[in-house]
Amino acid sequence: MDKVFIEGLEIDALIGIYDWERRIRQTLRFDLEMGFDNRVPAASDDIADTLNYKAVSKRLIELVEQSDYGLVETLAERCAAAVLAEFEVRWLRLKLSKPGAVRGAQAVGVIIERSRDAG
């Protein structure tokens, strides 16, 4: 299966479990790999046959900017579910990073893998 990816998508979000986190928006970073058969768009050379990564990015931005979760785990699950439900994606691997959350670490976060079959 081919992969379409979005790397380094930065979105400001209201997220966190501490009071101070609830008062400011924090920048989150998303890296996404999506399983998509690229043979049809490669043969047709027609953008209508592709997985539109701009549309996926815009949907993630919309979802994240409107969200208000305490945990990155919850936000990652909601994002994965939306992409699987709204786009022709067979599976995905989503990495959600929260830069600066731990002193000395460049970022912390979660990586999840989901598919249409396994949920």
Q: For the sheet containing 26-35, what is the strand order?
A: 68-69, 3-15, 26-35, 91-99, 107-115
- How far apart CA 119 and CA 104 sit, in angstroms, is 35
Q: H-helix or E-strand containing 97?
A: strand 91-99
CA distances from 28 to 4, 97, 118 (A): 20, 6, 26
Q: H-helix or E-strand containing 20?
A: none
- How far apart CA 67 and CA 40 sit, in angstroms, is 35
Residue 95 bears catalytic tag: no
Q: What are the catalytic residues? A: 98
